[in-house]
Each structure stands twice: as C-alpha cells, then as structure tokens.
C-alpha cells in the first residue's frame, strides 16, 4: 500500500475506500495550495474542529505543513504538478478538494487530463464543469457571462473613454489584469501618469533577478515557473465604482448554493486588496446575484465573489469571482453558521459545536486588522481573530507590530508556564 507523509515526518497509509457510507469514516478534505498564504491553515483547522480529516498538497515550506491539524502532506513540485494532484486524489480519495489560491485551482482543472472517472467525479464536486471553470477563472469572460444574465457590472470602457477619464479630475477607471489575484494587477487610474505606470506594470513578466530572489526566499522554483506559465498581457478596463467593497463566500453543489457568508470590507490590507477588518451583512442583491451565477454555470465547491456597493445607490456591482476558498471562508458568524458546517452537513458529517464570535458583527484579521482595531474606538466592538492555536504564526506575524507583541507574547509565555 502506498503512503503519504505527515507534517511530523511520519507516514499514513493511503485508504482507497470510497464514500462516507463505508465504515462511516470522517469526511476527508484535501487542500491544494501554491501561494504561501495562511488563511488555508485556519480553514483546515475549522474543518478539523468539525471532525473532518484533512490533508494537503503544497510546496515545501508552505504554512499548511506547519500545523498539527493536517494529517497528511504531499509535496507539490513545480513540474508535473497536475499529475501529482490527480494521483493524490486517486490514492487519498477525498470527498472534496479545496483550492486555496488561483494557481492551485488552475492545477486542479488541468488534473482532469490525468484523472480516472472516479477522480473526475471528485474534481467536478470541487469545481464544477470544466467549461464553467474556464469562464469563472477569466475576469473578462466571467463579466461577459454575468452581463448576459442581466447582472449589474461595471461598464467596460473603450480607449477614447480611457483618455477622457484621464483628462477629467473627477473621473477614474480601473485597469485589471485578466490573470491577477488578491488585488495584484489592479490599477485605479485618475491621471495620465497613473495610466502610463499601470500599462508599464502590465507589460510583461518580472525581471529574472526578481524572480530568482523570490525563489530563494521561498526555497522554491514556483515563482519562476508561474511567471513563465502565466505570461498574459490581456486586461480589461472598467469604470470606477465609488463605494465600499463586499465579499460573499459560498459552498455550492451542482449549481445550488448550500450556504454562504457576506461581509463588507471596512479596512483593506492595501488598495483593492483583501479586507483586514470586515463586517457581516445581509444584502439581498448580492445573494441573488451569486445564486444566479452559480446556477447558470452549475458551479460546485467553495467559491468567492467580489462586489462594490455603490455609495449613492447602495446597489451591488459584481466585480469578479474566485474559483477557490477565500479568507472569509473559515469564519463563523454570530448565529453559529459557517461554511465549514455547511460542507459537513452536505456530506453527512456529524457536526461539532462551533466557536461563535459572540454578538460582535465585525472581525479583525490577524495581524493587520487586529493591530488597527486594538484600542481604536472607531471600529466599535470587533472580534480579534488571533490564531492562539498556532504559536509559530503569532511569533512570525507579530514582527513589525510592537503593540501586538506586547499583547500576544506575554499570554503565550504564561500558557507555556
């Protein structure tokens, strides 16, 4: 029998049994990650708290390798990665695969070429149909599809309208790289100079020297491979919608939304970037839009949608979608609902009691959001989402935040004593 390595260096036999009904085994969730983001670790821990067994396919040095809640790990090389993913799904036999970033989602989609019929079924449950993934993974194609459904989206601009926007100090537009993610490749242009800078940034791959430095820091070939795989100069130009960003994360199956969370972004990590302080909201237009998109494309798995709530009208403009888990996917709202509980319920996993964030509607993510919210009455009552269960993350992420160090480190020392 084949084996799969554990984060602690041990090994776990690969179980080829199929389905929860056989021996009533726990729900198996397989994570695929390329980017060294840390929110997938929080999502894995939330699923594990609900009784799930989790495993990960990720590069060496990835945060998912440093947590005890991941029961097994497969190394994800920069070459032949989609074959490795297909083989791992076949061996470990998860009920669902969770993609943690856009590159991981692309690799899972490519794994269809190496997949057996059973593995294809798992990928379909995790992403939906291949053609639908191709639409949702391209910003331009996705917005064209949304507009064909009559969904409210920002207006696309022509070159002459771009020039007019640069000449009008009150106007602005947005240039978006078709393959950008996490706010990268998004430029808000208000002047001719900003337009020149944006177009220069969209012009091609990074310099070889910067790629080598990034690879050395991450001890991986992934930065180099990704840069040359994703040389895509295509971009879209849209009108700028003045308002407040909002996100909706859903778990869906075969075109049906099983459950979802909606937040508005109060503070961003950087302009057009992920939110670091968010507030749970209910917005009928956002929920309806997401249901129409999911139904029309027969989507499955964890999906994120970005909106802009216009300041004047409070209408929700659909900005883009992410065919993967997003940073709010692991949260539990004040009612006790979470996407993790929705996933478990759908697959028949008995639910555990979830930690509820109390009566607070707002959440501050660690470390940037917590640093902003602590002692700042502007944000009101905020749940400080501090990962106490991951001491190494606290030590690393507190660097550069002296206030957090004074708040977090003494408690960690007391718990050790």
Return the DSSP state at 97: E
Residues 81, 178, single domain; the answer is: no
DSSP labels for 203-252? SSPPPHHHHHHHHHHHTSSHHHHHHHH-----EEEEEPPPEEEEEEEEEE
Q: Are residues 209 and 173 in the same domain?
A: yes
Q: Specify whether the CB–CB gap between 135 and 297 falls below 8 A.
A: yes
| Residues 201 and 251 occupy one common structural domain | no
Tens-digit pLDDT profile for residues 270-312? 877 899 999 999 999 999 999 999 999 999 999 999 999 999 9
* 143 falls within a domain: no
Q: What's the distance, Cα to Cα, between the start and end of the chain in Å? A: 43
Structure tokens at 357: 């964030």
Domain enclosing residue 400, as ranges: 243-416
pLDDT, averaged in runs of 10, over the chain (417 residues):
40 39 74 95 94 94 92 90 95 96 94 96 97 92 95 77 48 68 64 68 53 56 55 70 95 96 94 91 97 98 97 95 96 89 89 57 94 90 91 89 82 60
Task: Note if the bond before 142 is cis, omega within 30 degrees.
Answer: no
pLDDT in tens, 364-395: 999 999 999 998 899 988 999 999 999 899 98
Question: Looking at the DSSP assignment, which residues form a beta bridge with residue 302?
Answer: 251
User: CA-to-CA distance for 105 and 19, rounded, in angstroms?
Assistant: 23
Number of domains forming the structure of the chain: 3
User: Is 210 in the same domain as 300?
Assistant: no
CB 51 within 8 A of CB 352: yes
**Is 208 found in the same domain as 252?**
no
Give the residue from 239, 257, 286 where a domain finishes: 239
Q: Do 408 and 261 share a structural domain?
A: yes
Contact status, residue 301 vs residue 125, Cβ threshold 8 Å: yes
Q: Residue 92 belongs to a domain with what CATH number?
A: 3.40.50.20
Q: Give CA–CA dist 343/325, Å, rounded.
A: 12
Does residue 24 form part of some domain? yes
Q: Give the domain CATH number at 262.
A: 3.30.470.20
Q: Is position 247 within any domain?
A: yes
Same domain as 42, residue 27 = yes
Distance CA 242, CA 34 (A): 33
Same domain, 293 and 160: no
* Angle, CA 127 vertex, CA 140 and CA 112 arms, to 5°: 100
Tell me if 144 is assigned to some domain.
Answer: no
Contact present, 4 and 91 (Cβ < 8 Å): yes
Residue 150 lies in a domain: no
Q: What is the pLDDT of residue 12?
A: 42
Residues 355 and 223 in one domain: no
């Amino acid at each position: 029998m084949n084996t799969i390595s554990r984060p602690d260096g041990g090994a776990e036999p690969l179980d080829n049994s199929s389905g929860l009904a056989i021996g009533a085994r726990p729900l198996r969730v397989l994570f695929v990650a390329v980017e060294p983001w840390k929110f997938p670790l929080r999502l894995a821990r939330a699923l594990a708290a609900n009784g799930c067994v989790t495993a990960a396919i990720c590069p060496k040095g990835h945060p998912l390798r440093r947590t005890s809640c991941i029961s097994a790990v497969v190394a994800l090389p920069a070459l032949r990665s989609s074959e490795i993913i297909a083989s791992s799904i076949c061996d470990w036999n998860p009920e669902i695969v969770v993609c943690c970033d856009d590159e991981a989602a692309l690799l899972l989609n490519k794994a269809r070429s190496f997949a057996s019929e059973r593995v294809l079924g798992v990928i379909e449950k995790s992403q939906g149909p291949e053609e639908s993934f191709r639409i949702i993974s391209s910003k331009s194609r996705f917005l064209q599809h949304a507009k064909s459904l009559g969904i409210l989206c920002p207006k696309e601009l022509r070159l002459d309208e771009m020039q007019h926007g640069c000449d009008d100090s009150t106007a602005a537009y947005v240039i978006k790289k078709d393959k950008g993610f996490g706010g990268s490749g998004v430029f808000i242009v208000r002047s001719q100079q900003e337009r020149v800078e944006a177009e220069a940034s969209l012009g091609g791959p990074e310099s070889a020297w910067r790629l080598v430095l990034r690879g050395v820091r991450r001890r991986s070939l992934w930065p180099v491979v990704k840069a040359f795989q994703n040389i895509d100069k295509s971009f879209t130009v849209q009108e700028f919608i003045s308002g407040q960003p909002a996100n909706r994360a859903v778990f869906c199956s075969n075109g049906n939304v099983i459950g979802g969370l909606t937040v508005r972004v109060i503070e961003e990590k950087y302009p057009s970037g992920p939110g670091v302080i968010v507030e749970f909201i209910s917005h009928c237009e956002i929920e309806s839009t997401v249901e129409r998109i999911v139904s029309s494309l027969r989507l499955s798995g964890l999906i994120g949608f970005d909106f802009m709530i216009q300041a004047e009208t409070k209408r929700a403009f659909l900005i883009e979608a992410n065919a993967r888990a997003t940073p709010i996917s692991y949260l539990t709202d004040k009612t006790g609902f979470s996407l993790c509980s929705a996933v478990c319920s759908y697959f028949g996993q008995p639910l555990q009691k979830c930690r509820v964030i109390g009566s607070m509607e707002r959440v501050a993510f660690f470390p940037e959001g917590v640093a902003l919210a602590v002692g700042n009455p502007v944000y009101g009552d905020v749940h400080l989402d501090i990962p106490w269960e991951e001491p190494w993350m606290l030590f690393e992420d507190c660097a550069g935040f002296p206030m957090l160090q004074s708040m977090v480190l003494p408690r960690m020392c007391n718990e050790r004593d």
